[in-house]
Amino acid sequence: MGRKQNALVVVAIDFGTTYSGYAYSFRDEYKKDHTKIYSNENWQSGDGLITAKAPTAILFDEDGKLDCFGYDAERTYSELLEGGDAEGYSYFSRFKMKLFQDESALQHPISRRKNKISRDLILEDVTGKGMKALKVFSESIRFLKEHFLKSCKVANFKLNEGDIHWVLTVPAIWKDNAKQFMREAAKEAGINEDLLTLAYEPEAAAIYCKEATVQRKEGTEGCSLQSFEPGHQFLVLDCGGGTIDVTTYEVQNDSVLKELSEPSGGPWGGTYVDLEYECFLKDLFGKDVWETYIKECPEDILEIKRKFEAKKRGTKESQKTKTTIPYPASLFRTYCDIRKSDSIQEDLKKSVHSKTVTVSNEKLRYEPKIIKQFFEKSIESIISHVRDLLATSKRQRRHIDSILMVGGFSDSPILVERVKREFSNLVIISPQDAVLAVLKGAVMFGHNPELISERICPRTYGITVNMPYDDRRHPAMLKCIIEGREICSDIFKTMARKGDPLTVGKTTYTMLCSPTRSTDTEATVEVYQSENVNPIYTIDKGVSRLGILTVPIPNVERGKSRRIKVEMHFGYTELQVTASEEDTNRKTEATFECLMK
């Protein structure tokens, strides 16, 4: 940990798809009370709404400089649009999922893209203008960092740069290149890499709930004490705005957590529900009307989204009454202008939606089944995934007896009701401040990363090596001649296998290899990862290169008898690789170039 252990305060930034915020605690206070954590829970929308976190929305001015973030960005951009002054400005919201778009083919059709995660990745704002994703992410992190520092000045806290250990949360199901992108963004935001730690969101939530111990059991009156005793096995269902992270844990005798299954999940969070709703509106009003409306009245689109967000939080599975949602008059005018219609009411009566949607006084009234339909694909995906994971745990003779629901989407009554009904044999636990569980747990993890004792290796890691060519085993395309010998290149030499248990901060794999040629003056070590358990070649499907290390080996007198030692160390949230020439002090540590140039 080094300098991090000496930090006076740990500040965690939870950079979410829909909402973002920060929390912090002081080292001396943490030693006395782990739960004494502070957060800014006073983000104000301007129209009376106060939330624990700010919307993940950012506005840049005509010069490409940060104008404002959060509710201020939403409000300012809306005012600019209304005044016709928005040209030149760039507004982004809910852009975190861009880093998940390479991770799965199961995304909502609207959000599916093929862009690779890189330093040159471009994000499009609401008007289609492009800006480097690294800038958008880093300026968002910078805002939250500066907001904390300004609050310290107001409170007369005198902190130097080296006094702060920063923790940035990331979904556990993200791959290494997405995680490194966030680390790069934090560096761009002015956070010293030596004082930065990444925390996995479901782990952070599990840590917080175990440490806090006071839980609210769903379906019971009041609060009850639910201690996470040694041997207790539970599933964390982290339901965020973008991704759903699912992991199982067991409490050890020393109260630390052991990961029982590798993190899994998918892009089924609250924004999936929003996309289903927008698809329905497009079908209801017509594709041409909706697309014209988006272009001509973007300020009113923001209002439509916010009103649905409020309704979404109150939707219940048991709901039998209609849901009424008001809409801007401009939507109905756009419809009538394009359709040459005098009344949308009459048109609606003739449509396929006549029995499920009615309109009156610029409001739409939805039958309960229509509102529930927006949630169906998201919830079905979540339930199916949890069911499969529990079935696997049962086959492995594990005894999961509770589900811990955290994250903003877990506040949705319809999701909680469905989880309770589908898994009625388990205890469903929700912390009193589920929306802040990840944030506060990340602070605790920053103080003591050893709260997680063991993880499951999420992928197979190794290096590429050469070996004597065998025409009975090796493909001809990998055959090459090196110093007069037939060699097969691109062999995947496994060092850590997918599914292996890893002791956090202590597991190190070591391998010895030789230079490719006897005259080589430097040794190149290429590090690879694979989704497969037993990859054979580094060109196989599902294999990707993590990075390259180069070690100087200038003394060629020993030829290929020189030995290169490769060590792969699994830290608290990141993989560290070193390569060195044995019997010398020549050593290189890995700085992975996961981001494609």
Q: What is the mean pLDDT of each run of 10 residues along the chain (597 residues)?
A: 77 92 93 88 78 92 95 92 90 87 43 60 90 95 94 79 92 83 93 90 89 49 56 93 92 87 91 94 94 88 87 86 93 93 88 91 93 95 96 93 91 92 92 84 91 86 94 94 94 92 81 91 91 93 88 88 87 78 78 40
Cβ(538)–Cβ(490) below 8 Å? yes
Cα gap 93→116, rounded to integer Å = 20
For the CA atoms of 96, 101, 102, 108, the dihedral, rounded to the nearest 10 degrees, stands at: 160
Distance of CA 329 to the CA centre of its chain: 37
Domains of the chain, earliest start first: 1-200 (3.30.420), 202-268+386-453 (3.30.420.40), 270-373 (no CATH), 459-591 (2.60.34.10)
Paired tokens of 295: 């272009």
Q: What's residue 227's pLDDT? A: 57
User: What does each C-alpha distance from 182 to 48, 119, 122, 437, 455 come to in angstroms?
Assistant: 33, 11, 15, 21, 21
Residue 575 identity (one-letter amino acid): L
Q: What's residue 591's pLDDT? A: 45
Q: How many CB atoms lie within 10 A of CB 486?
A: 13
Cβ(227)–Cβ(368) below 8 Å? no
Please, which residues have CB within 8 angstroms of residue 72's CB and are 6 or more apart in sequence? 59
The helices-and-strands tally (H runs, E runs) of the chain is 13, 35
Please, which residues have CB within 8 angstroms of residue 380's CB and are 6 or more apart in sequence? none
Cα gap 334→295, rounded to integer Å = 11
**Residue 164, CB-side half-sphere exposure with 13 Å CA sphere:** 22
| Backbone Cα Rg of the chain | 27
Cα gap 24→148, rounded to integer Å = 9
| pTM of structure | 0.81
Cβ(244)–Cβ(266) below 8 Å? yes
Q: What's residue 154's pLDDT? A: 67
Cβ(112)–Cβ(266) below 8 Å? no
Cβ(171)–Cβ(245) below 8 Å? yes
Write phi, then psi, for 93 (nearest 5 degrees). Answer: -150, 150
Q: What's residue 590's pLDDT? A: 59
